[in-house]
Amino acid sequence: MIRRFFVILFLALLADLASAQGAFPDQPTILYTHQQYGGFLLNSNGFGGFFTYGKYQNASKIFLMHSDLSFIKHEKEEKRYSADPNARGYFYGKLNSFAVVHAGVGYKKIVTEKLRKNGVQLSYNWLAGPAFGFTKPIYLEIFYPPTSSIDQYRIEVERYDPSIHYIDKIYGRASGLRGFNQIKFHPGGFAKFGVLVEYANYRDGLKGIEVGAQLDVFATKIPIMAEKILEEQDQSAKNHQIFPSFYLNFFFGKKYNKI
């Protein structure tokens, strides 16, 4: 009985191995030297896009060079609208938009190789490096009522100032092109760890999702929101110097040999 069990198990393993080897009958096993992929990222602080270049160290370990552009939001941002339906929505109390360029290196480790055409490959990676933060001031359209019977209503584009631009004076958001000549730099660093599930249905393709956690740390607090407005909304709310987040990436790319 036991012998029969092991015979059946052995035959089942042989059948599974033959199926895996026959999944790509016209394609021999290929060892690649490089890979590159990019895509879109969503995280608990915002969104962005990324590109990653990889060089194989061996069959299961890949050295990575990574860059991305992320737009980070404050958790207290709340979109509002004026009474005019033609006005653009704005975030009351927001002083600056905040963008971060990450440039890091790290490694990807393949845990389970993709053996079948419809199978998946599981791997994990870690990355670390500098983070280059940039704040751009917010400009709003400010409503001014007439000061006399001969004056008319007017709308002026001004840099948001919480001490004078109260909510009843804000008409809407101005063009996002305003304020590029007033960008400020904020140095920092980042580290991240993620798990990748790859499911491309061709050997040299890369397609899948990555989920993970990331930590951004900057030299000073980032003035995304006006402290005065934050205190009015929640006395415990502050601007941050450290930004922990969870992320989800959607990526696509290719593996290739480079001479």
Inside any domain, residue 1? no
Please state the rounded mean pLDDT for residues 50-56.
Answer: 97
Q: Is pLDDT of 60 > 60? A: yes
Tens-place pLDDT, residues 153-195: 889 999 999 999 999 899 999 999 999 999 999 999 999 999 9
Q: What is the pTM of this model?
A: 0.83
Inside any domain, residue 200? yes
Q: Is pLDDT of 39 > 70? A: yes
Tens-place pLDDT, residues 73-119: 999 999 999 888 889 999 999 999 999 999 999 999 999 987 666 67
Exposure pattern of 237-248 as b/e (b: 16+ CB <10 Å)?
Answer: bebbeebebebe
Count of domains observed in the chain: 1
Domain carrying residue 67: 30-78+94-137+180-256
Inside any domain, residue 185? yes
pLDDT score for 117: 65
Place of tokens 């791997």: 123
The dihedrals phi and psi of 172, each to the nearest 5 degrees, come to 175, -175
Inside any domain, residue 131? yes
Q: Is pLDDT of 11 > 80? A: no
Inside any domain, residue 194? yes
Q: Which has the closest alpha carbon to 256: 29, 27, 34?
A: 34
Which tokens go with 160?
A: 């948001």
Banded model confidence at residue 148, pLDDT cuts 50, 70, 90: low
- Name which residue leads in pLDDT, 209 or 231: 209
User: Mean pLDDT of all residues in the chain?
Assistant: 87
Cα torsion angle, 183, 184, 187, 188, sign: negative
Q: What's 54's domain CATH number?
A: 2.40.160.20
Place of tokens 């026959």: 22
Inside any domain, residue 165? no
Q: Is pLDDT of 9 > 70? A: no
pLDDT score for 29: 53
Q: Is pLDDT of 1 > 70? A: no
Q: Is pLDDT of 33 > 80? A: yes
CB atoms within 10 A of CB 211: 12
Inside any domain, residue 126? yes
Inside any domain, residue 242? yes
Tens-place pLDDT, residues 241-251: 999 999 999 99
